[in-house]
Amino acid sequence: MASFKAVLFDLDGTLVDTAPDLAFALNTLLEEHGLMPLPLADIRPIASNGCAGLLHLGFNLSQHDADYLPLQQRLIQLYQDNIARESTLFPRMQMVLSTLHSRDIPWGIVTNKPTFLTTPLTQLLQLDQAAACIVSGDTTPHSKPHPAPLLHACDLIQLAPKDCLYIGDALRDIQAGKAADMITLAASYGYISADDDISHWQADGIIDSPEAILTWL
């Protein structure tokens, strides 16, 4: 195993379990339109796919449909108003972060979530002060799977990509990490759909729980 000087996390589905609040926003929107709410088990696997994934699941809409934009705006507002209603760190993740702190290993967040949602969520969960860096989906001109956000995180923490471990629960996370020349871990405990085959993502490792991260350190 390599010796890592920093650990970088994707946010939704890797560091924080945000699916309950995303589900609440989608189900509230469905009910506003006279539709039945969906079980969390149906929403959870696509929770990392943002508005596009949620509105396709709930309303069978694509981004090209005329109704998409107003529903997207309402969904974002509902989510923003309830952004930390039930969202929490994944089980045992606090222990992982505490262990990193005790070993003087900085950790940061690199997410495709836009800043106006990332900032309140990380503040309410008291992650903003502990994180060595927080890079959102609109921090750089490109979002994942482009490596730019991860390379920007390296600039912020003043470390080379090869010294960083990146962990995510989506193919775009692994693609971005590999393009940035980082070691990557795929989080199988995250928001994985039935169509995803993690074994084909070519991550350097697959972990089924947050504490498994520690074996890589």
The reply to whether 140 and 69 lie within a common domain is no
194: pLDDT strictly greater than 90: no
The percent of residues above 70 in pLDDT, for the chain, comes to 99
95: pLDDT strictly greater than 60: yes
Of 82, 83, 33, 87, the closest CA to residue 61 belongs to 33
Q: Does any domain span residue 194? A: yes
Total-model pTM: 0.96
2: pLDDT strictly greater than 90: no
* 21-43 average pLDDT score: 98
CATH at 181: 3.40.50.1000
- Count other C-beta atoms under 10 Å from residue 9's C-beta: 27
Q: What confidence tens digit (pLDDT) does each residue in 195-215 have? A: 899 999 999 999 999 999 998
d(CA 174, CA 33): 37
Helix (H, G, I), strand (E, B) or coil at 57: helix
Q: What confidence tens digit (pLDDT) does each residue in 162-193 have? A: 999 999 999 999 999 999 999 999 999 999 99
The reply to whether 24 and 57 lie within a common domain is yes
Cα separation values, 40 from 22, 30, 191, Å:
9, 13, 12
Q: Which two tokens stand for residue 90?
A: 């994944």
Q: Does any domain span residue 10? A: yes
117: pLDDT strictly greater than 60: yes
| Amino acid identity at 14 | T
Contacts of 154 (CB under 8 A, 6+ apart): 160, 161, 164, 180
Q: Does any domain span residue 137? A: yes
The reply to whether 186 and 142 lie within a common domain is yes
156: pLDDT strictly greater than 70: yes
The reply to whether 130 and 208 lie within a common domain is yes
The reply to whether 64 and 112 lie within a common domain is no
Q: What angle do CA 209, 213, 215 make, to 5 degrees?
A: 115
CA 176 to mean position of chain CA atoms: 13
Indicate the Cα dihedral angle 32, 35, 38, 43, nearest 10°.
Answer: -70
* 82-99 average pLDDT score: 97
Reduced 3-state DSSP string for 66-134: CCHHHHHHHHHHHHHHCCCCCCEECCCHHHHHHHHHHCCCCEEEECCCCHHHHHHHHHHCCCCCCCCEE
Q: Does any domain span residue 52? A: yes
Contacts of 73 (CB under 8 A, 6+ apart): none
Domain limits at 129? 6-17+87-216
Phi, psi at 164, each rounded to 5°: -115, 145
Q: What is the pLDDT of residue 1?
A: 45
Q: How does the average pLDDT of the chain come out, rounded?
A: 96
Q: What confidence tens digit (pLDDT) does each residue in 98-112 have? A: 999 999 999 999 999
Catalytic residues: 10
Q: Does any domain span residue 1? A: no
Q: Does any domain span residue 55? A: yes
The reply to whether 160 and 69 lie within a common domain is no
* 119-123 average pLDDT score: 98
Cα separation values, 177 from 65, 92, 123, 172, Å:
33, 24, 25, 8
The reply to whether 13 and 23 lie within a common domain is no
**Domain end: 56, 81, 106, which one?**
81
Domain count, the chain: 2
The reply to whether 55 and 39 lie within a common domain is yes
